[in-house]
Amino acid sequence: MKTKRLVLACSYLVGSMLSSASNAHDIYIWPDYFTLNSDKSTTVPVDITATHTTYRSDFSMPSEGVKIFGTDGKEIRYRGAFYKGARRSTFDLPVEGDGTVKLEYWRGPSYHSSYTIGKRDSLKRMRMNKTELMASIPEDAKNPETVRYMTIGMSYVTNNAPTEAVLTPKNEGVELVPVTHPADFVTGEDLTVRLLLDGKPIAEQDVTVELEGPQYREEPVALELKSDNNGDVNFSLDQGGRYMMKVIHSQPSHDPEADIARTRIYFAFEVIYE
């Protein structure tokens, strides 16, 4: 548990070093109701924030990043009101008919560069792509590096009987795909999600699952997991509640404006008691 706390402390530190809020922070999108039973059309409030604390709002996000996929898996154009508050954004998701809807929030790509300089190898960071970095970097700088960030928040809402269409992978980029249906995340049961890169399994990927409200606990309730050779991440949770699954995947960049392509995925889900 000591190391877990250390890991979390370090992530706070890194966060504060990268001062540009929305790019360095986790981005969460989550519904007030993950599961509902309604035969009439209804709405579910959805919140979006960029933050370092699971489910605690810190920075609001613009509406452009929202993607909604209907029960048939096709993207729905959202036409309702979107309120961008100071530290959180919110909208009402219309829910009509049975099945599972997927919420996504996309941010990026954004480019972050760094180099070291001087006798003490001081680390300098700037929001620049490779071209911009090379145009401005001092001659005596060392270790220049540019990272291309994509950040994806995701969650699911199920009305009445769950459906599978929104769980079908697109086989593009880094994806987190639930194998256990998110409407069936139950305490004490074996839960599985799969990690894919262009449709192929991502093995040995670190994954964190954290229970909401770490600010109220002596020790955060967090699992540190790794995907197996099928890209599967298997876990089980004893405590019901809202959790956040966090994946930070890095690979060499195909984009010439960066050295490293980093995809960060934040999956908001609830676990109910049996």
Partner 1 sequence: MLRNKSLLMAILLSVSSSLSAATLKVDFELPEFNVANYNAPYVAIWLEAKESKETLLLWHLKRADKDKWLVDIRRWWRKLGRYGETADGITGATKGPGKYSETFQLPELQAFTFYIEVVREDGGRTLVKQAIDLTDSVNTYHFDPENELGGLTLTIGEK
Out of 36, 150, 165, 260, the only residue in the binding site for partner 1 (CB under 8 A) is 36
Binding mask 165-184 for partner 1 (x = CB under 8 A): ------------------xx
Which residue, among 246, 224, 244, has the nearest Cα to 235 in the 3D structure?
224
Nearer to partner 1, 33 or 149 (CB): 33
Residue type, 48: I
Q: How far is the CB of 274 from partner 1 (least distance, A)?
A: 6
**Contact by Cβ (8 Å): 155, 183:** no
Which of 2, 3, 13, 40: binder of partner 1 (CB under 8 A)?
40
Count, residues near partner 1 per rule CB under 8 A:
17
CB of 98 to partner 1, least distance (A): 8
Q: Which residues of 225-237 are buried (b: 16+ CB within 10 A; e: fewer)?
A: bebbeebbbeeeb
Give the count of alpha carbons within 13 A of 91, CB side only: 23
Which residues, 181 to 220, sit near partner 1 by CB under 8 A? Answer: 183-184, 186
Of 5, 32, 38, 144, the residue at the interface with partner 1 (CB under 8 A) is 38
Gap between the Cα atoms of 94 and 88, Å rounded: 19
Considering only 125-133, 159-167, 226-234, 258-266, which stretch makes contact with partner 1 by CB under 8 A?
Answer: 159-167
Buried-exposed string 206-220: b where 16+ CB fall within 10 A, e elsewhere: ebbbbbbebeeeeeb
Lookup result for tokens 């972050």: 112
Which pair of tokens denotes residue 221? 């309730």
Q: 51 vs 100, which CB is nearer to partner 1?
A: 100
Give yes or no for residue 37 binding partner 1 (CB under 8 A): yes
Spatial distance between the Cα atoms of 124 and 116, rounded to a whole number of angstroms: 6
Taking CB under 8 A as the rule, which mask of x and - marks residues 44-83 in contact with partner 1?
Answer: ----------------------------------------
Span of 68-76, 157-165, 170-178, 230-238 interacting with partner 1 by CB under 8 A: 157-165
d(CA 142, CA 92) in angstroms, rounded, equals 49
Tell me: does residue 162 bind partner 1 (CB under 8 A). yes
Which residue lies nearer to partner 1 by CB, 39 or 139? 39
123 is an interface residue for partner 1 by CB under 8 A: no
Instruction: List for the chain the helix, strand, coil content (%; round to 5).
Output: 15, 50, 40
Binding site for partner 1 (CB under 8 A): 35-40, 42, 158, 160-162, 183-184, 186, 272-274
